[in-house]
Amino acid sequence: MKHALFYSILTLILGCSMSSNNTINENNMKLTSDNPFFEKSSLYMNYPPFDLIKNKHYMPAFLKGMSDHLNEIELIINISEKPTFDNTIVAMETSGQLLDRVATVFFALISADTNDEMEDIRADIAPKLSAHSDKILLNFKLFKKVEELYESRNTLNLDSESVLLIEKYYTDFIRSGAQLSGEEKEKLKLINTEISVLQTNFSQNVLKEVNASAVTINTRSELDGLSDGAIESAANEALSRGLEGKYVIALKNTSGQPSLSSLKNRSIREKIHKASLSRGSRGGDFDNRKILVKVLKLRAEKALLMGYENHAAYVLETQTAQNPQNVNRRLSSLSPKSLLNAKKEAEDLQKMIKSEGKDFKLASWDWDFYTEKVRAKRYSFDANQLKPYFEMDNVLQNGVFYAATMLFGITFKERFDLPLYHEDVRVFEVFNEDNSVLALFLFDGYARTTKRGGAWMNAYVSQSELKDNLPVVANHQNVVKPPKGEPALMSFDEVITMFHEFGHALHGMFSDVKYPYFSGTSVPRDFVEYPSQVNEMWAVWPSVLKNYAVHYKTGKAMPKELLDKVLSAQKFNQGFSTTEYLASSILDQSLHQLKPSDIPEAQNLMEFEKNILIDAGISFEVIPPRYRSTYFSHIIGGYSAGYYSYIWSEVLDADTVEWFKSNGGLTRKNGDRFRAALLSKGGSKDAIQLFIDFKGSEPNIQPLLDRKGLN
């Protein structure tokens, strides 16, 4: 996300919708003196005053924030002096602070802890924010000031970060339609507004459909294979829905579901998996097919209006990939070998089924269950053996934090005096080695019905010298909350996710830039996953794993033989994981490389999706895409034509892991180099150049091929 407010506002509202009324309700303009957004937070490091924030405060703050922001922009436009870097660019960087405060908190909590009233506010404010952004980005007088500075940027005696800031502003104005004709601008405004509506409708449907598609089970015996804690959680979920005596398996937003690896009852596995795959395309109030098709058409029309062949070409122009052709080549080069590996894995699973005296053909709902059986046979352990060694707090403090201390010298102290938006949230103050304050870090680990699926990082306060701000960042996961008094035991995948998201947090916390625009994770989308993927390596680094992988009851370390098996199994099931990921990436690219006339009708969308995967040579019935299009939240939001970013960044990640291994591994020297050369720079320098500055050479794809067994 770009942190200059009026460039970030459309990113903030991705997934937001509107009501049919686009006019500002004057009753909402009542400016109460107790509105906590009207003044900069008085809490430590501008930490949000969550205890004071009520739903009633959002709309007045949004409306006043937009009004104040437009007034500030008008002052910039109408200044009589010749445009300068300070009176134009810096002035825009520091404008809209009230709007920034309310938008940052509101959209963070919409993801983390929403409610019906907030969803109504989101529906009402989305088109207003879209129109507000257009008023600034399509203002010809303001653009001409930026253009004048752009044309003279190399004669202004500015440092490189300031010159780059001018270039970014100029590019963003151009890409937002500043050079379009008056008629074209009006058409663009209508498209932007309608997209903002549909995106939120889609996102709201995804959350509602996840909850509505939860699977009800009648008897405990049908849940054979699940742990006692998981069964109790299912009973509690049923009780919360008024289904006493039954069990409810809540769904996560991915196609695959965690329970499928343990449930012995094949018909229950099938029921859960089919419920997952049908989300958003089964009819009813939360069907997303029409919404997605309309979004795709509008995006394609907007791309043509802006002079691009398709939406993917528009998006990729500012990414390190540069164009769809480069992305297509990368994905198509990996797909055949990935699918070949997956089919070999499927053969092993079918053999396991046959060895048990069963004659059914492997189906998608069988994959996880029999994968664990093959894993147990091949490596003499199954995934459930690991969970007692992965208690959440221990993983966080003695794993994630420990690795960061060893690598960067930073330390953590939990704070109990700052307000929380939910009782599950924890706050830590982060210190540099010299005891100077680095950041505040929030951790929100548990799943709940008011929280969107997946895992993510966001910044409540972004670092910048200009605003004299230190970072306040947050990580979120969706680990199932255990019954009261029971430990929160994580799967190995959830452990990896915790390390991954903390890599994003480090990127935000180590930011050391002058301007908000470049702060923290404000880098190209296909680069932003790179530091987080690198941080995953420490989850299995022997000294780190030894420090946190201890039994929650006995405190004994994971036995060396089990530890060795975990490490030796790293390449296991890579065919499946790479294939399901590539299928979603290709789906995303293909849908966003269509012209308006080529986009299918809603009733044909799922068949169209199926044919995309067949044509791309990545179709395998027993491995559905990680996300089907109707619940693919990434591509309705900030990752449209960008889901390829994970594999693109993984090239850099795998290469960097090899660099660390060749240079001594988990050492302060290596950490300091990574922090100084790359993590601290945010978006203040070309992304690939940052990689070269750190590693000393161009990226090499071979380590990725070796990692995934694709060479």
- What are φ and ψ of residue 426, in 5° steps? -125, 150
Calpha distance 506→501 (Å, rounded): 9
Count H helices, E strands: the chain? 27, 7
Kind and range of the H or E element at 6? helix 5-12
Q: What is the DSSP string of 632-700?
A: -HHHHTTTTTTTTHHHHHHHHHHHHHHHHHHTTSS-HHHHHHHHHHTGGGTTSS-HHHHHHHHHSS---
Residue 166 near residue 93, CB atoms below 8 Å: no
Between the two ends of the chain, the Cα-to-Cα distance in Å is: 35
CA distance 306 to 298: 12
**Which residues partner with 489 through β-bridges?**
391
Q: Are 378 and 399 in contact (CB under 8 A)?
A: no
Total residues belonging to the chain: 711
Cβ(55)–Cβ(118) under 8 Å?
A: yes
Taking CB atoms within 8 Å and a gap of at least 24, the contacts of 372-376 are 372/261, 372/262, 374/348, 374/349, 375/569, 375/572, 375/573
Q: Do 568 and 687 touch, CB atoms closer than 8 A?
A: no
Distance CA 112, CA 238 (A): 22
Q: Distance (Å, rounded) from C-alpha 77 to C-alpha 488?
A: 55
C-alpha distances out from residue 260 to 3, 251, 321, 489, Å: 40, 11, 36, 17
Q: How far apart are CA 196 and CA 217, in angstroms?
A: 38
- Which of these, 665, 668, 655, lies nearest to 698 by C-alpha position? 655
Could you tell me which of 322, 167, 97 has the C-alpha nearest to residue 684?
167
Q: Which residues sit opposite 567 in a β-bridge?
A: none
In this structure, how many other beta carbons lie within 10 angstroms of the beta carbon of residue 48? 23
Q: Which of 372, 391, 494, 501 is catalytic?
A: 501
Q: Are strands 426-431 and 437-446 parallel, antiparallel or unpaired?
A: antiparallel
Taking the C-alpha atoms of residue 204 and residue 227, their distance in angstroms, rounded to an integer, is: 32
Which contiguous run of DSSP H or E holds residue 418? none
For the chain, helix, strand, coil in percent to 5 are 60, 5, 35
The distance between the two most distant Cα atoms of the chain, rounded to a whole number of Å, is: 86
Residue 74: active-site member: no
Q: Provide φ and ψ at 248, rounded to 5°.
A: -125, 125
DSSP string covering 128-142: HHHHHHHHHHT-HHH
Of 612, 545, 633, nearest in space to 252 by CA:
633
* SS3 track for 446-492: ECCCCCCCCCEEEEEECCECCCCECCEEEEEEEECCCCCCCCCECCH
For residue 61 the two structure tokens come to 């703050």
Question: Which residues carry out catalysis?
Answer: 501
